[in-house]
Structure 1
Amino acid sequence: MEESGGRRVGVAVDFSECSRKALSWAVENVVRDGDHLILITVRPEMYYEGGEMQLWEATGTPFIPLEEFSDGAVMKKYEVKPDPETLDIANTAARQKPITVIMKIYWGDAREKICEAVDHIPLSCLVIGNRGLGGLKRVIMGSVSNYVVNNASCPVTVVKVPH
């Protein structure tokens, strides 16, 4: 994808307010004409009824085009529910800029899978939101953005959500 002049801009999305802010920020400040905007979402590892997850558990799904991840029936088979606001940001970006918007879903620990995605896709850069957990919660849960900043092999921008 790089050779065609476009970069691979990754945005970690969990369909929360902070990931929507990160996606909006990436669209406004990072994504340029010809880029691939890749939404990366990580689901918890657990037993899933459908076969899709077992099929893609190790490598993540193939790239899912915007039209497909905007379709609730398609996303149901991955047990992923993108919120309307995230879909609106992605669809608006695709209408307003000559870019390709795709999604890739992983299963497992968000910190590790996002870093894996950086290497396997590979990404030119990554934008991630920060929930701004307090000190104790961050110690207990660990900050995904902090881990990714320290371990990803590409530039990472953390978009903080003001309280």
Structure 2
Amino acid sequence: MAKEKRMKVLVPMDDSDGSFYALKWALDNLFGNHAASEPPLPAAEENFITLLNVQPLFQPFIYPAGPGILVYATPAVIDAVKKGQQQNAANILSRALHICKQNKVKAETLMLEGDAKDKICQAAEELHVDLLVLGSRGLGTIKRALLGSVSNYCAHHATCPVLIVKPPPRSAHD
């Protein structure tokens, strides 16, 4: 029997419910347990997920504080913001990694800094992933037009197949 090709999946993570729903979907549907009557996927232990978090670049802007008064971010403020961003990324990735371990799926983490949509596409290409799995924030048409959509951008610019996992439908009680 020929050995199966290892499947590499990239799942970008942020603190949104959508990204964690996409991770859970990928774990359940791509790496999930099969019925006892079905044989396990060959070489499943070699498949793994890369969990990616992209933090925005902190721009130390100069802020006008009144006529002729400018306030800018000091090196201490910049360092504090960067440390906070790194801690936020570490918390998100730790939570996602824990979910992967609970599901017995090997995972690695990656933190990048920059524009999320560009960094996600760049990482997918550089890591030679087989599938990019993205959560959808479920923005309405107007918000999506104003804010842009990372998932839409990646669907059009990534060099690998892209799967966009929509959030479950909201109940009438939400």
TM-score (norm 1): 0.72
Of 57, 69, 91, the match for 1:82: 91
Cα distance, 1:41–1:131 mapped onto 2, change above 3 Å = same
Contact 2:14–2:92 under 8 Å retained in 1? no
Q: How does 1:8-157 map to 2 (within 5 A)?
A: 8-31=8-31, 32-46=44-58, 48-49=78-79, 78-79=86-87, 80-83=89-92, 87=95, 90-97=97-104, 99-157=105-163
Cα distance, 1:4–1:94 mapped onto 2, change above 3 Å = farther
1:10-55 per-residue CA deviation (whole Å, 9 max, x = no partner) reads 10110210001000001111134321211111101116528xx7xx
1:105-152 per-residue CA deviation (whole Å, 9 max, x = no partner) reads 111111111000011112111100001111111111111100001110
Q: Which residue of 1 is the match for residue 64 of structure 2?
A: none
Residue identity (%): 32
Aligned-partner SS, 2:143: helix
TM-score (norm 2): 0.67
CA distance in 2, matches of 1:30, 1:141: 30
CA distance in 1, matches of 2:92, 2:123: 22
CA distance in 2, matches of 1:76, 1:116: 24
Q: Which residue of 2 is the match for residue 56 of structure 1?
A: none
Contact 1:14–1:41 under 8 Å retained in 2? yes
Give the counterpart letter for 1:94 in structure 2. Answer: K
How many residues in Structure 1 have an aligned counterpart in Structure 2? 135
Specify the structure having the higher radius of gyration (Cα): 2
Cα distance, 1:136–1:95 mapped onto 2, change above 3 Å = closer
**Which aligned runs of 4 or more in structure 1 are off by greater than 4 angstroms?**
none
CA distance in 2, matches of 1:25, 1:11: 11
CA distance in 1, matches of 2:113, 2:127: 15
Unaligned runs of 5+ in 1: 54-74
CA distance in 1, matches of 2:102, 2:147: 38
Root-mean-square deviation over aligned CA pairs: 2.7
